[in-house]
Amino acid sequence: MQANKQNDFAALFEAKERQKVRIRPGEKVSGKVIMIGTDTVFIDLGARADGIIDKMEFIDENGETKLAEGDIVEAYCMGWTDEGVKLQLKMKGEGDLDSELEQAFLAKMPVEGKVSGERKGGYTVQISKSEAFCPFSQIDLPGQGKEPADYIGKSFLFRISEFSEEGRNIVLNRRQLLEEEAGQNRQKLRETLQEGDIVNGTVVSLLHFGAFVDIGGVEGLIHVSDLSWSRVGSPEEVLSVGQQVQVKVISLEWGDEEKKERIGLSLKEAGKDPWSQIQESPDYAVGRKRQGIVRRIADFGAFIELEPGVDGLAHISQLGAEQRVEHPSDVLQLGQELEVTILEVDGERRRIGLCVGEPRFKAEPAAELSYEDEKNLLQELIAGQKIEGKVDSQKPYGLFVLLPDGRSGLLHISQIPLPEGGSGIPVRALYKMYPLHSSIEVIIKEINGDRISLTLPETLAKEEEDKRSTPADVKDQGSAGFGNLDDLFANLKLDD
């Protein structure tokens, strides 16, 4: 008896709570699917009546209904009936269209429209029998890299941003809906995303130092060194804007009101590391002969690619010539295909020793550098690469920096943030800030023949942030949340 009383009390309490729930027309609600009928889906809204929605709204282009009892559904209240709360996922444009569109405008409900053509400043969109206008800037999120033809003939959800002249002037906004969705996804990512996760994303922009990828409400950066296990000269060699990719999160720092998030991504680490099984592979047994391609040449030898992402070093003493070789370029050319023999494999240090022709196992006295030192000396300069150099000279117009390959690059005065309130003579500040022969970390900005332009990591970060955060963009981006370069390079390992 006592249990029955408790059950009755619980039922009365629940009914009383349901009476308190007020759902108004145009309001967006969320509820759980409790029954799927022949034509109607019933939703528990926690109110005194269930929500009812046409089953046809859940049928996709293949004619399938991807819905099950227990699923959570978000929809808009169209009003109360004797059967329950009438719901719709979006405006259909049926019945009194002008009245429904005005109601959607007032309630900020999405409407479905088909882009029918391009016009001055934007697109013409058909909403049933009504014609509306969507500006170019409001059809998508920034940086999607799409052409007008990519939208024409396709249907999308829009929000009505302006409704006037009794429906003769209708302005639409799709970008706002996308930003809201991105903001919701971003919040979910803040709660779940961790370093080491493998996630899907879309390439939104390519710059000389890497690629920005939208991973669902937030953008991260794939530095050029993390695009492939093989050497990549520019992101365009690997990716294109709009491409779907799978990436690994290698660094993660969420921002706040003053600083944006910084997310480092890696395309190569999301795939299989070609070095992972080399140690045990019979194809890399000592004495095994393999085909390779000469990729880089230095004074002490040549790096030969055995497969994408795996290079071996043939020291100058192992180039197979009968007489002493003065320089590897005397007997080898870049891009040359040749047969080599494996002399040594060190998977932990990612080192493979090779020879061309018959092995000469006696080392030359000149081979005193370690393998890592040799690789650093051979470091091929590419735009966007971060590298350490030595201050070679200070000039009124900037610094000349000696780079690891022996060449000099110019760090122009415009790329150096000078202290405020100084003497007003730039070269004095340069002498004080960057003493002769001191180490300096720079980024290759541009290579034009023998002329190498440099910048500082902090300068590049500010330039790119300013470029991506103009006043118009700040206003439009809302809660979408874009990636930031602030000191991101410091968290990225640049492997040769």
Residue 180 lies in a domain: no
Residue 322 has pLDDT above 80, yes or no: no
Higher pLDDT, 394 or 369: 394
Q: How confident is the model at residue 450 (pLDDT cuts 50, 70, 90)?
A: low
79-98 per-position pLDDT tens digit: 676 677 888 776 554 444 55
CB 438 within 8 A of CB 390: yes
CATH number where 398 lies: 2.40.50.140
Q: How confident is the model at residue 26 (pLDDT cuts 50, 70, 90)?
A: low
Mean pLDDT of the chain: 76
- CA nearest 374: which of 328, 338, 343? 328
Higher pLDDT, 143 or 97: 143
B/e letters for 398-437, b = 16+ CB within 10 Å, e = fewer, are bbbbbbeeeebbbbebebbeeeeeeeeebeebbeebbeee
Residue 464 lies in a domain: no
Among 88, 122, 140, identify where a domain stops: 88
Q: Which residues pair with 365 in a beta bridge?
A: none
Residue 477 lies in a domain: no
Residue 125 has pLDDT above 80, yes or no: yes
Tokens 């779907």 locate to: 244
Reported as type and span, the H/E element at residue 113 is strand 110-119
Q: Are residues 25 and 83 in the same domain?
A: yes
Task: Compute the distance between CA of residue 328 and CA of residue 103 in angstroms, rounded to an integer.
Answer: 77
Q: Retrieve residue 328's tokens.
A: 């590897």
Task: Compute the distance between CA of residue 193 and CA of residue 318 in angstroms, rounded to an integer.
Answer: 49
Task: Compute the distance between CA of residue 483 and CA of residue 262 in angstroms, rounded to an integer.
Answer: 6
Among 348, 377, 406, identify where a domain stops: 377
What domain count does the chain have?
A: 5
Residue 248 lies in a domain: yes
Rg (CA), the chain: 31
CA end-to-end distance (rounded Å), the chain: 78
Among 355, 377, 399, identify where a domain stops: 377
Q: Are residues 213 and 165 in the same domain?
A: no
Residue 460 lies in a domain: no
Q: Are residues 108 and 84 in the same domain?
A: no
226-241 per-position pLDDT tens digit: 888 777 778 888 888 8
Query: How many other CB atoms sit within 10 Å of the CB of residue 46?
Result: 17
CB 278 within 8 A of CB 345: yes
Beta strands 351-355; 310-315: pairing state: parallel
Higher pLDDT, 425 or 53: 53
Residue 198 lies in a domain: yes
Residue 206 has pLDDT above 70, yes or no: yes
Q: Are residues 314 and 398 in the same domain?
A: no
451-478 per-position pLDDT tens digit: 888 999 888 777 766 665 554 444 444 4
Q: Are residues 390 and 370 in the same domain?
A: no
Q: Are residues 36 and 65 in the same domain?
A: yes
Residue 422 has pLDDT above 70, yes or no: no
- Looking at residue 143, its pLDDT comes to 65
Which structural domain range is residue 241 located in?
Answer: 194-270
Residue 26 has phi, psi (to 5 degrees) of: 90, -10
Task: Compute the distance between CA of residue 230 and CA of residue 181 in angstroms, rounded to an integer.
Answer: 36
**DSSP state letter for 238:** T
Q: How many CA atoms lie within 13 A of 123 on its CB side?
A: 28
Between 48-62, 209-223, 306-320, 480-494, the lowest mean confidence (pLDDT) is in 480-494
Q: Retrieve residue 274's tokens.
A: 């070609």
Q: Retrieve residue 356's tokens.
A: 């061309």
Going 212 to 261 to 28 to 64, the CA torsion angle's sign is positive
Q: Are residues 306 and 324 in the same domain?
A: yes
Q: How confident is the model at residue 22 (pLDDT cuts 50, 70, 90)?
A: low
Q: Are residues 368 and 390 in the same domain?
A: no
Q: Are residues 205 and 258 in the same domain?
A: yes
Task: Compute the distance between CA of residue 330 and CA of residue 250 in angstroms, rounded to an integer.
Answer: 42
Q: What percent of the chain has pLDDT over 90?
A: 5
Beta strands 310-315; 51-54: pairing state: unpaired
Q: Are residues 218 and 198 in the same domain?
A: yes
3-state percent helix, strand, coil for the chain, nearest multiple of 5 = 25, 35, 40
Q: Retrieve residue 490's tokens.
A: 């410091």
Q: How confident is the model at residue 41 (pLDDT cuts 50, 70, 90)?
A: confident
- Looking at residue 115, its pLDDT comes to 93
Q: How confident is the model at residue 69 (pLDDT cuts 50, 70, 90)?
A: confident
Q: Are residues 368 and 392 in the same domain?
A: no
Higher pLDDT, 404 or 148: 148
Q: Are residues 228 and 302 in the same domain?
A: no
- CA nearest 399: which of 365, 360, 361, 440? 440
Residue 481 lies in a domain: no
Task: Compute the distance between CA of residue 435 and CA of residue 431 in angstroms, rounded to an integer.
Answer: 5
- Looking at residue 247, its pLDDT comes to 92
153-203 per-position pLDDT tens digit: 988 888 888 888 877 889 999 998 888 887 877 788 888 888 888 999 889
3-class secondary-structure state, position 433: helix
Residue 390 lies in a domain: yes
Which residues have a Cβ under 8 Å from the Cβ of 181 and sit 6 or more positions away? 217
